[in-house]
Structure 1
Amino acid sequence: MRRFHFISGLPRSGSTLLAALLRQNPRFHAGMSGPVAGLLGSLLGEMSGRNEFSVFIDDAQRQRVLRGVIENYYADTPAEVVFDTSRAWCARMAVLKTLYPEAKVVACVRHMPWIIDSIERLIRRNALQPSSIFNYTPGGTVYSRADGVAGGEGMVGYAYNALKEAFFGEDSANLMLLQYETLSSDPGQALAAVYEFIGETPIRHDFTHIDYDATAFDRKAGTPGLHTVRPEVGAIERETILPPDVFRRFENDAFWRDPALNKRRVRIV
């Protein structure tokens, strides 16, 4: 039977790179963020009390419907192991545990100022194309853009809050945090940890010839390069383009770096 696992975590933190590496395994399927988590969220709402016909739906039926969405979405995928990617999965840990008790969630994380820096670089690189990240609105400043993505419903803020919910929640035994800094500097160690976490036999991966193309999607989103994966894994040292006060604003947000906060002993690689 096909097994499901999930990739989640923070944006600009290596989830697409992780998917590109995992799909080198012929038994695996993985890709960039897709529609499955959104479909589940919509169905949960439609099967709730706001629908007058919800009296005809019990929890067993809800489970079958939700599993049916995931399994039918991937019905044409021949892979034995499927990784679905969405930042929303960290906010759906209880749902995933109910549907697939053995499923694991790998959450990609990164030092927060560099996430903001990475988004700002994308925006400046595509100065003539307003981005879907900001509802295609031109203008603004680095300060307003940082405020926008860091807000509770923003690209970074929502994912960050969902990550904290998963990390500190009672279902964290199925969660592993994979740091971008580890994935980019030591991909062998990172993938070995992922294989061990999901209980699969590792294969040899090629870290110098990585193939992943989401050019059409990124162009439509007005953000070329959003899911670009370099052909070779490697850490790149650079200076930040953020003003010092913006960088400092996010410098202490990496809660996973404080062992005292990891009371549930979530694995961090």
Structure 2
Amino acid sequence: MKTIYFVAGLPRSGSTLLMNILGQNPDFYVTPTSGILDMLGQVKNNWDKNEANRARERNENELIKKNVLTGMLQGYFSHIEQNICIDKNRYWLESAEMAAAILGGKEKVKILVTVRDLRDVLASFEHLYRKTSALSQVPLDANNPIKCKTALGRFEMFIDDAQPVGRAFNAIRDAITRGWGPNMHIVDFDKLTTNPKATMQSIYQFLQQDNFQHDFNHVEQITWEDDTAYGFKDLHVIRNQVEPQNPRWPSTFDVTVTESSAWKNIERFARFWER
């Protein structure tokens, strides 16, 4: 049986960088954005829609369902040599209860949660939009052509509950409400980039794994994704050197955005994990 940990959190908050740093450890196998969570969810949500499954004795049906889900997750990593696998999907926090059932108990669920000042998360998305829209159409633009014409409109869409930033933000806060705080380890983007050694040491302590000496000056990208699938160019491309990043939002947005009511609300929660 593989030991499986999870990485979730906000988009544009360093999860790809974190995975590639962790991937320097030969004992770890790390994923790009993983689809196994969605597959597990589809099986879980459709299992009892099957007439034959519903007709089984209830306890037996639940046991078989759990065994199938466990087999799926373990099977996803069965071709991997390493015994420690780290799966990245920002929505694992929404499914922490399922993860506990699959892994055999709440105490076995460990989730690294990457976070970043929400204003910089949104500035990063805005830069990706501008870069991609130069020669391509962003799906957000195709689905909302009028609202997407302005930076304020795009900002308001990015924070919508149905969009990645809003949904991930809600997932983190709700997981804490549901009592998963002790199973979560917050990885602050600013701390990761300014003091990576201490940040990684705290991660190893949380995972209860032996510390590893990482090379923060030469981080080879070993997780690759075709970002055209997500509609943005270079969504998961990292810098090879871990170094501090200046805030981007002051040079990205002008008063049209920063004096809006939506922005004022975001400012209240910009670094919500510190509250």
Deviations 1:158-192 (A, max 9, x none): 11111111122223321111111111111111111
**Paired residue for 1:108?**
114
Q: TM-score, normalised by structure 2?
A: 0.87
Of Structure 1 and Structure 2, which has the larger fraction of its residues in helix?
2
Q: What letter matches 1:16 in structure 2?
A: T
> Helix, strand or coil for the counterpart of 1:226?
coil
Helix, strand or coil at the partner of 1:163: helix
Residue 244 (1) aligns with residue 222 (2): no
Give yes or no for contact 1:130–1:136 (8 Å, CA) kept in 2.
no
Paired amino acid for 1:250:
I
Alignment of 1:142-181 (within 5 A): 142-181=151-190
**Which runs of structure 1 show a deviation greater than 6 angstroms over 4 or more consecutive aligned residues?**
none
Alignment of 1:91-240 (within 5 A): 91-100=94-103, 101=105, 102-127=108-133, 128-132=135-139, 139-212=148-221, 217-240=226-249
Could you list the per-position Cα deviations for residues 167-218 of structure 1 after superposition, in whole angstroms to 9, with x for gaps in the alignment?
A: 2222332111111111111111111111000110011101011111666601
8 Å contact from structure 2 (residues 7, 114) kept in 1: yes
- SS where residue 267 of structure 2 aligns? coil
Between the aligned partners of 2:73 and 2:224, the Cα distance in structure 1 is 25
Q: Is the 8 A contact 1:133 1:155 kept in 2?
A: no
Quick one: which amino acid aligns to residue 72 of structure 2?
V
User: What is the aligned partner in structure 2 of residue 8 from structure 1?
Assistant: 8
Q: Which amino acid aligns with 1:22?
A: L
1:87 equivalent to 2:101? Answer no
**Residues 123-132 or 191-200, more deviating:** 123-132
Structure 1 portions without partners, runs of 5+? 259-269
Q: Find the aligned partners of 2:130 and 2:155 in 1 and give their Cα distance.
A: 13
Closer/same/farther in 2, CA of residues 133 and 74 from structure 1, 3 Å limit: farther
Give the Cα–Cα distance (whole angstroms) in 1 for the partners of residues 159 and 132 of structure 2: 20
Q: For residue 45 of structure 1, what is the aligned residue in structure 2? A: 45
- Whether the 8 Å contact between 2:2 and 2:77 is mirrored in structure 1 is no
- Over 3 Å counting, the alpha-carbon distance change for 1:238 and 1:197 in structure 2 is closer
Deviations 1:61-98 (A, max 9, x none): 11111111111111111111101011110111111122
CA shift, 1:238, in A, is 4.4
RMSD after superposition: 2.0
> Structure 1, residues 99-136: CA drift from partner, whole Å, max 9, x if none?
22313101111111111111001111122222345567
CA distance in 1, matches of 2:124, 2:200: 23
Please give the alpha-carbon distance, in whole angstroms, between the structure 1 residues aligned to 2:101 and 2:222.
Answer: 33
> Does structure 2 retain, via aligned residues, the 8 Å contact 1:7–1:106?
yes
1:25 aligns with 2:28: no
Task: Decide whether the 8 Å contact of 2:175 with 2:181 is kept in 1.
Answer: yes
Give the alignment's TM-score, normalised by structure 1: 0.88
* Pairs aligned (count): 257
CA contact (8 A) 1:130 1:137 kept: no
Q: Distance in 1 between matches of 2:70 and 2:232?
A: 33
